[in-house]
Amino acid sequence: MSRPKKQPAKDCIFCQIATGKLPASKRFEDRDMVAFDDIHPHAPIHVLVIPKKHITSLADVTPKDKELMGKMLYRCKELARQLNIADSGYRVTVNVGKWGGQVVPHLHFHLLGGAPLTERLSLYTEAAVLLAKE
């Protein structure tokens, strides 16, 4: 039997952060979402914006989640302003699935900034492609 989507997923670290069971440096919280600092930052500012309800990945978003997705993206914009990276520029990314580099199976938007970011959005090598197909 599948688990209702609004329940926290057992063993999901981001659900545990959302419910306060695991600590995190929170930047924002409301009834729909939480934003907190990434534990392994890739830039001086690296914040993760997650929905409170468990959605495994962007690939699992349904039409009912459209408003939530808009709110989360808007929150990235607002956080960028509050964290003083709006004028210099920043990046919002979503990794989806194995080849997309998603490690934590709970949807999250990465907000990155505070330094010039590399122009390369993706990095792959022929060797990595061959290994992945094995």
What residues are annotated to the active site? 108
Tell me how far, at minimum, the Cβ of 24 lies from ligand DGP, in Å: 5
47 contact partners, CB below 8 Å, separation of at least 6 = 27, 35, 36, 37, 38, 79, 83, 110, 111
Cβ–Cβ under 8 Å, residues 109 and 60 = no
98 touching ligand DGP, by CB under 6 A: no
Query: Considering only residues 68, 69, 73, 104, which one is a binding residue for ligand DGP as defined by CB under 6 A?
Result: 104
Tell me how far, at minimum, the Cβ of 16 lies from ligand DGP, in Å: 8
Residues that bind ligand DGP (CB under 6 A): 13, 24, 36-40, 48, 95, 101-104
